[in-house]
Amino acid sequence: MTTETRPPHPPTTTSRQPAWEHHDVLDLDDFSVAEIETVLNLADRMREILDRRIARVPALRGYTVVNLFFEPSTRTRASFELAGKVLGADVLSLTANTSSVVKGESLIDTVRTLRAMRTDAIVMRHSMGGAPYLAAAHTDASIINAGDGAHAHPTQALLDLYTMRSHFGDLHGKRVVMVGDISHSRVARSDMWGLAAMGAEVVLCGPPTLLPRGLRASDRPAHAESALPAVTIETNIDHAIEGADVVMALRLQSERQQGGLLPSLHEYARLYQVTEERLAKAHPGYLLMHPGPKNEGTEIATDVASGDNSTIEEQVTNGVAVRMALLYLLSGRTEAPGEPSSEVRA
Partner 1 sequence: MTTLAIHNGRVIDPALGRDGIADVVIVDGRIARIGPNEGDMVVEAERIDATGLVVTPGFVDLHTHLREPGFEYKETIATGTLAAARGGYTTVCAMPNTSPPLDSRASIESVLREAEHSALVRVLPIGTITLGRAGKELSPAGELFRSGVVALSDDGDAVADPNLMRHALEYSTQFGLPIAQHCEDPALVRDGVMHEGWVATRLGLRGRPASAEEIMVARDIALAELTGAHLHICHVSTAGSVALIAAARERGIHVTAEVTPHHLTLTHEEVAFHTDFRTVDYITNAKVNPPLREETDLAALGIALRDGIIDCIATDHAPHASMDKEIEFELASPGLTMLETSFALSMKLVHDGTLTLPVLIDRLTSGPVRAWGLDRRTGLEGLGTLAPGALGDVALLDPNAEWTVEPREFASKGHNTPLGGRQLRGRVVATIFGGRVVHETDRVVAL
Among 57, 152, 197, 204, binds partner 1 (CB under 8 A): 152
Q: Considering just the CA atoms, what is the radius of gyration of the chain in Å?
A: 20
Applying CB under 8 A, which part among 33-41, 48-56, 130-138, 266-274 lies near partner 1? 130-138
How far is it, in rounded angstroms, from Cα 40 to Cα 329? 11
Among 6, 10, 29, 332, binds partner 1 (CB under 8 A): 29
212 binds partner 1 (CB under 8 A): yes
- The contact mask relative to partner 1 for 171-210 (x = CB under 8 A, - = no) is ---------------x--x---------------------
Angle subtended at Cα 193 by Cα 123 and Cα 26, rounded to the nearest 5 degrees: 20
How far is it, in rounded angstroms, from Cα 37 to Cα 205? 27
- Evaluate the omega torsion of the peptide bond into residue 293 and state whether it is cis, within 30 degrees of 0: yes
Q: How far is the CB of 98 from partner 1 (least distance, A)?
A: 9
128 binds partner 1 (CB under 8 A): yes
Among 44, 48, 219, 276, binds partner 1 (CB under 8 A): 219
99 binds partner 1 (CB under 8 A): no
How far is it, in rounded angstroms, from Cα 257 to Cα 297? 16
The set of long-range contacts for 98-107, using a CB threshold of 8 Å and a minimum separation of 24, is 98/70, 98/71, 98/126, 98/127, 98/128, 101/70, 107/131, 107/134, 107/135
- Considering beta carbons, is residue 14 or 226 the nearer one to partner 1? 226
Q: How far is the CB of 197 from partner 1 (least distance, A)?
A: 12
Applying CB under 8 A, which part among 60-68, 87-95, 129-137, 167-175 lies near partner 1? 129-137
Binding footprint of partner 1, residue count (CB under 8 A): 36
- Considering beta carbons, is residue 128 or 279 the nearer one to partner 1? 128
In this structure, are strands 64-69 and 175-179 parallel, antiparallel, or unpaired? Answer: unpaired
CB 179 within 8 A of CB 299: yes
Angle subtended at Cα 165 by Cα 179 and Cα 342, rounded to the nearest 5 degrees: 130
237 binds partner 1 (CB under 8 A): no
CB 63 within 8 A of CB 39: no
- Considering beta carbons, is residue 133 or 286 the nearer one to partner 1? 133
Residues that bind partner 1 (CB under 8 A): 1-2, 26-27, 29-30, 101-102, 106-108, 126, 128-131, 133-134, 148-152, 186, 189, 212-215, 219-221, 224, 226-228
